[in-house]
Amino acid sequence: MRMRLSRRSELFLPLALLIPVALGRAREAVAVCVALALARLCTLCGAEGFARAAAQEVSPRRVRGAWTDALLAGLALGTAAWRWGGGICAWLFARTPETEWWTGICLTGGLLALARLNEEYLHASAQRESASLSAFVRAALLAGGVLCGGVWIAGAAALGWLVSLVVAWAVGGCPFAVPNGAALWQMPAACVRALLYPISGLLLLAGFWRRAGAWAAAGYLLGLAMYACAATPFRRSASESGPLHLGLLLPAALLCAAAPFLPAQMRAVTALTAFAAFTGMLTNAAPTLRGALATLALSLSCLSAWLFADIAMIAAPLCAAIALALLVPDAREMALRRRARRARSRRN
């Protein structure tokens, strides 16, 4: 169950993009994040919709049909976004985007979204290690492309998509089948769950960009790693939410407690990671009183720098300590489960 719920391969892309951010390529890394988020929005998160559909199917043929649904929908919606999205941007912002820039954004985001769909097919085929390898190669290629800049970003995204398709076809078998509409029904709900932090986090990032550009980009990527790693196709049950509480709230609470003693630019990192924890709890954790109280305490700890500036050095660590205290039962439960697994392995 732990292996099914945790998706550690989702850490590769955000953590790989931290390398260009640290080397002065924060603007290009954020542009990649924007491209991916917009592409996933325009294609209604076909990869996540396929994951929800595949979890409910028992026939391999119907799973392949759902993959074909998501692929065809992604190609059609992505082409429509590229064709008419520039006009929508001109209407919203009174400025027509440059043709080369818009084409690069659409191409990069669309190819990354399609690569995610190939990796979800590997997960549906019980090829978790192959999916992780594909995600690692894609992240490494994209980080290198961001460091080089320009057309290298789109080229790295294209090569990553090609690698993911070859691995998916070679390991999981031919993914094409007659479309059955299973993924199309799941895509709207999957889009809301998958993009709550990636889209709203970009808006929060824009607010911090002028004062702390690189720090804000790093905070967004760390929050994206937390949110994506904890995401599941369906909401977790109460017994499954313990690791989620620790994975989301623990690092965010530690950062919030230390924020008043760090430089002002670090507040962007604290705010974005705390927001990722909040949205992750909202979309993936089972609704419990203890989880709600821990999330509330974390939010107060994060906002204390703005709401209680005079006593932030006391309020932030205190609220973070309350959040951490509420996580003690989850840590104890995980320790007991780990001990029980070790005892069963010794008996066997």
Alpha carbon distances (Å) from 29 to 13, 35, 147, 165, 271: 11, 10, 9, 24, 19
For the cut 90, the answer to whether the pLDDT of residue 193 exceeds it is: yes
Residues counted in the chain? 348
Let me know: does 216 contact 209? Beta carbons within 8 Å.
Answer: yes
Band of pLDDT at residue 4, cut at 50, 70 and 90: low
Q: How many CA atoms lie within 13 A of 226 on its CB side?
A: 31
Interval 216-244 mean pLDDT: 92
Band of pLDDT at residue 337, cut at 50, 70 and 90: confident
Can you say how many angstroms the Cα of residue 169 is from the centroid of all Cα atoms in its chain? 25
Give the model's pLDDT for residue 74: 94
Interval 106-129 mean pLDDT: 94
In whole angstroms, give the CA distance from residue 114 to residue 116. 5
**Best CA proximity match to 220, nearest among 16, 20, 41, 30:** 30
Give the model's pLDDT for residue 90: 75
Give the model's pLDDT for residue 345: 80
What radius of gyration, in Å, describes the C-alpha atoms of the chain?
A: 21
| Residue written as token pair 């002028």 | 210
Q: Pick the residue with more confidence: 37 or 94? A: 37
How does DSSP assign 101-168, residue by residue?
A: HHHHHHHHHHHHHHHHHHHHHHHHTT-HHHHHHHHHHHHHHHHHHHHH-THHHHHHHHHHHHHHHHHH
Q: What is the pLDDT of residues 38-92, one digit of tens each?
A: 999 999 999 999 999 998 888 999 999 999 999 999 999 999 999 888 887 777 6
Q: What is the pLDDT of residues 289-316, one digit of tens each?
A: 999 999 999 999 999 988 888 898 999 9
- What pTM, to 2 d.p., does this model score? 0.94
Q: Which range has the worst mean pLDDT, 56-70, 95-109, 213-227, 259-273? A: 95-109
Mean pLDDT in the chain?
Answer: 92
The DSSP 8-state label assigned to residue 179 in this structure reads -
Alpha carbon distances (Å) from 316 to 148, 274, 285: 40, 12, 24
Give the model's pLDDT for residue 3: 38
Please, what's the b/e burial string for 37-74 (b: 16 or more CB within 10 A of its CB; e: otherwise)? Answer: bbbbbbbbbbbbbbbbbbeebeeeebbbbbbbbbbebb
Let me know: does 16 contact 221? Beta carbons within 8 Å.
Answer: no
**Best CA proximity match to 284, nearest among 225, 243, 330, 334:** 243
Percentage of the chain with pLDDT > 70?
98
Band of pLDDT at residue 342, cut at 50, 70 and 90: confident
Q: What is the pLDDT of residues 10-46, one digit of tens each?
A: 999 999 999 999 999 999 999 999 999 999 999 999 9
For the cut 60, the answer to whether the pLDDT of residue 2 exceeds it is: no
For the cut 70, the answer to whether the pLDDT of residue 94 exceeds it is: no
Alpha carbon distances (Å) from 50 to 6, 114, 187, 327: 18, 12, 8, 33
Interval 251-258 mean pLDDT: 94
Q: How many CA atoms lie within 13 A of 337 on its CB side?
A: 12
Find the distance separating the first CA and the last CA of the chain, reported in whole Å. 19
Single-letter amino acid, residue 27:
R
CA angle in degrees (0–180, nearest 5) for 199-204-205: 90
**Best CA proximity match to 318, nearest among 291, 300, 293:** 300
In whole angstroms, give the CA distance from residue 343 to residue 225. 33
